[in-house]
Amino acid sequence: MAEAFARVAYVDTHAGEGAYELAATGEWTEGIGRLWRLPPGSGDALTRYVALCRRLGAGTLRPERYPGSPGLARAVLGADAALALWERDPTACERLRTHAADERATRVTCADGLAALVDAVVAAERGGAHVVALVDPPWAQKSDWTTVPDALARAARATAHASFLLWYPVKSLTRPNAMIARLAADGVPGTVAELLTTPLEHQRRRLNGSGVVLVRPPAGVVETLAAAAPVVGRTCATQDGWWSLRMQSWTRD
């Protein structure tokens, strides 16, 4: 899809600080901590991802600093891509400004990125760019499970070609299933890729896994995720090698 456009515009609604120092323990130990030392041949997409994390972050035997989504986007999309970054937390936003200070094609806004999503993607698409939007909220409120998909649906309906990626946590399937049904009912075609690395019956008041909703993904993205998931699942599994993948697509009614 993107090859029909002269340039790419990236929109990030919850861009964070730009980089993260990793303590000796934490959830990262079951994610990037395990992927950090994947051997060559683990899959082209994963190999490139870990190489980017090493180049943009820090650490030798283990990751000590993890790059945020803006840094990963810049590295993948190139210096000419326009990055529009929103961060609502004032402290995190100022750190993000500092992190991106030398990037001429990056704009940082300290405001609610979810509220700005529709206007941002519409303006970028009208400007002739292929839009790639990341929606990665903290999911701190129960209401997020309705307000976030509703904002995504409005943005998807307002654009003709923009690609969207929505990340969500999985602690049970109740809220993710309701969110997927809500998007389908809103007429937004999409694909879900959801990977669990801890069985739901072993809930530990933390992530059992996570998923992404893809709307108008570029060609090959779904296939790449499907190929990478078994490697990530086996590597990051917390219970005797158990892991589970759900992939589901739906079209507009």
Structural domain includes residue 35: no
Residues in contact with 124: Cβ distance below 8 Å, sequence separation at least 6, in sequence order: 9, 11, 82, 84, 131, 162
Structural domain includes residue 162: yes
User: What are phi and psi for residue 210, nearest 5 degrees?
Assistant: -155, 165
pLDDT of residue 1: 41
Could you tell me the residue range of the domain that residue 223 belongs to? 157-253
* pLDDT tens for the 253 residues of the chain, in order: 444 556 899 999 999 999 999 999 999 999 999 999 988 777 789 999 999 999 999 999 999 999 999 999 999 999 999 999 999 999 999 999 999 998 999 999 999 999 999 999 999 999 999 999 999 999 999 999 999 999 999 999 999 999 999 999 999 999 999 999 999 999 999 999 999 999 998 876 778 999 999 999 999 999 999 999 999 999 999 998 999 999 999 987 5
Structural domain includes residue 21: no
Structural domain includes residue 140: no
pLDDT of residue 5: 58
Q: How many structural domains are present in the chain?
A: 1
Task: Write a three-state SS string for the chain.
Answer: CHHHCCEEEEEECCCCCCEEECCCCCHHHHCHHHHCCCCCCCCHHHHHHHHHHHHHCECCCCCCEEECHHHHHHHHHCCCCEEEEECCCHHHHHHHHHHCCCCCCEEEECCCHHHHHHHHHHHHHHCCEEEEEEECCCCCCCCHHHHHHHHHHHHHHHCCCCEEEEEEEECCCHHHHHHHHHHHHCCCCEEEEEEECCCHHHCCCCCCEEEEEEECCCCCHHHHHHHHHHHHHHHHCCCCCCCEEEEEEECCC
CA distance 87 to 81: 19
Structural domain includes residue 7: no
CA distance 175 to 185: 15
Structural domain includes residue 100: no
Structural domain includes residue 133: no
Half-sphere exposure of 101 (CA within 13 A, CB side): 5
Structural domain includes residue 193: yes
Q: How are beta strands 106-109 and 82-86 bridged, if at all?
A: parallel
